[in-house]
Structure 1
Amino acid sequence: MRALNDGPGPHLTVSDTTEAIAFYTDVFDAVALQRECLPDGRVLHAELAVGGHRLTVSEWWEAGAPAGAEGRDDVLTIERADPEAVLRRALAAGARVEPAADPSRQPLLRDPAGLCWTVVGPPRPV
């Protein structure tokens, strides 16, 4: 798994950048820092902040290739104060829950773009 604070931040490729930005804003409370749009208004590329960490979202297009991220094995981990509330918002926004491969792990959340996430709470004091 890769946490959002590892390095400069993940670059997510999706089939619909506008839809992905809306999902991350509604579910993870992401804030758009920068957007690059095409003349027709479509968002080609955006940089988002989620809980003080950055991620980049851009549209995937390649002739003959399937669009989106479905089937990718990458799992991103995000820390939120109320993981259960995030899970409820994600399901309402079209995500689905997949069982974790290891029973000791958090369940996986697959967003509408096909990317997998785990949502964890803040660290507990020892």
Structure 2
Amino acid sequence: MRAHDQRTAPHLTVSDTSEAIAFYTDVFDAVAIQRECLLDGHVVHAELAVGGHRLIVSEWWEAGDLSVAANRDEVLTIERTDPESVLRRAVAAGAHVEPPAGPSHQVTLRDPAGLCWSVVGPQRTG
């Protein structure tokens, strides 16, 4: 994914954008680049930078909206130098660790918004 290509940025739909932004900031060190707010300050849309990548977080209000459920089974991967520390912070912030599927040692967590993340260490070369 290229850092400045919004067409490829994951678009996450959540029930509470402010809560999701707080989680991604605290756990993944995300930085808010842009926020769209209502007059009362309620955040309904934001663009975040996580590492060298961008993601878009939007809030959906309609009950039963299939687009909200559509991204619940996708797994987003984030690379961090200390994945164990990130996992500890995620669990402390309300995420749930999911058991690995099959013989994989990959750890997946489900954030409070219900979205799945895989936290991995740096890729080793050679």
TM-score w.r.t. the length of structure 1 is 0.88
8 Å CA contact retained: 1:4, 1:76: no
Moved over 4 A (4+): 3-7, 66-71
Is the partner of 2:56 in helix, strand or coil?
strand
**Using the alignment, how far apart are the partners of 1:90 and 1:98 within structure 2?**
12
- Aligned residue type for 2:45: H
1:18 partnered with 2:18: yes
Q: Which residue of 2 aligns with 1:65?
A: 64
Superposition deviation, residue 60 in structure 1: 1.4
Q: Residues 4 and 122 from structure 1, CA distance in 2 versus in 1: closer, same or farther, beyond 3 angstroms?
A: farther
Matches within 5 A, 1:27-106: 27-62=27-62, 64-65=63-64, 69=69, 72-106=72-106
Aligned residue-pair number: 123
* Residue type of the alignment partner of 2:55: L
Following the alignment from structure 1 to structure 2, what is the Cα–Cα distance between the partners of residues 19 and 73?
Answer: 20
For residue 45 of structure 1, give the secondary structure of its aligned residue in structure 2. strand
RMSD (Å) for aligned C-alpha atoms: 2.4
Name the CA shift for 1:81/1:21 in 2 (closer, same or farther; >3 Å). same
Identity between Structure 1 and Structure 2 (%): 73
Amino acid at match of 1:28: F
**For 1:49 and 1:71, how far apart are their aligned partners in 2?**
19
**Structure 2: which 5+ runs fail to align?**
none
| 1:51-87 residue CA offsets vs partner (Å, 9 max, x unmatched) | 010000010111x327965992110000111100000
How far, CA to CA, are the matches of 1:27 and 1:82 in structure 2? 12
Aligned to 1:113: 113
SS at match of 1:84: helix
Task: Tell whether the 8 Å contact from 1:27 to 1:90 is kept in structure 2 after alignment.
Answer: yes
- CA contact under 8 A between 1:4 and 1:55: conserved in structure 2? no
Give the structure with the higher percent helix: 2
Alpha-carbon spacing, 1:72–1:82, altered in 2? closer, same or farther (3 Å): same
Higher relative contact order (CA 8 A, sep 6+): 1
- For 1:75, the aligned partner's letter is V
